[in-house]
Amino acid sequence: MGILKKIEEAIYDGDEDNILDLVQEALDGGISAERIIAEGGVVALDRLGEDFNNLEVFLPELMMGGDCMKMLIEKVKPFLEAGSSAFSGKVIIGCAKGDLHDIGKSLVATELAVHGFEVIDLGVDVSTNRFIETAEKENADIIAVSALLTTSQYYMEELINRLTDEGKRDKYRIAVGGGPISTEYARKIGADGYSRTANLAVTMAKGLMKMEPTKDFVSVVA
């Protein structure tokens, strides 16, 4: 089995113990960082995504694959050619204040991670302050907020208003999602993007990275 295939299998299996050694072996063998990402990592993640849709692998495997991919990217970052970027963008994600429903948010975080985004997951019940502080500290591209509870969705609007009031709105693309959230609601509160499902969040996030904050709106529903 070639080294890229071994990397693919390691990512698919979430093999955190061996992934770094395999990547080093590939680099030592003169394989470019770009090829390691594309032909080792991305191929594995595509397989994971397809198998997840067919209920052949599940969220834990997807998360472990995502974690491995993150390790791979960190390892090859110094070897990327100038102008290349290892990550598609940096995303701060969390459930709005008062909302403890973790699974939808975790699935989106995982889907984004396995598709090349650098994801910082703040967990559940995240205050508006914490979203903003972390986005500032991490120089995020996207702030993604999830709410299953209608009583928590208001905090999405609060976040956008706070960013606007503090003159920071143009720095971040704001994505929202969750059970009660719709395209109409996302537009109404001034978000930049909405996706109906976790799978679709990847398309949305890629769309967001092609636009400037507040200049357009990306809604992916099917």
For another protein, which is the closer residue by CB, 10 or 86? 10
Positions that interact with another protein (CB under 8 A): 52-53, 55, 58-60, 63-64, 96-104, 106-107, 125, 149-155, 179-182, 197, 221-222
Of residues 64 and 201, the one with the C-beta less far from another protein: 64
State in angstroms the smallest separation of the CB of 214 from another protein.
23
Task: Find the shortest distance in angstroms from Cβ 175 to another protein.
Answer: 17
Q: Give 31 or 69: the residue with its C-beta nearer to another protein.
A: 69
* Closest distance of CB 113 from another protein, Å: 13
**Secondary structure of the chain as H, E, C letters:** CCHHHHHHHHHHHCCCCCHHHHHHHHHHCCCCHHHHHHHHHHHHHHHHHHHHHCCCCCHHHHHHHHHHHHHHHHHHHHHCCCCCCCCCCEEEEEEECCCCCCHHHHHHHHHHHHCCCEEEECCCCECHHHHHHHHHHHCCCEEEEECCCHHHHHHHHHHHHHHHHCCCHHHCEEEEECCCCCHHHHHHHCCCEEECCHHHHHHHHHHHHCCCCCCCCEEECC
Residue nearer to another protein on the CB measure, 182 or 203: 182
- Nearest distance, CB of residue 100 and another protein, angstroms: 4
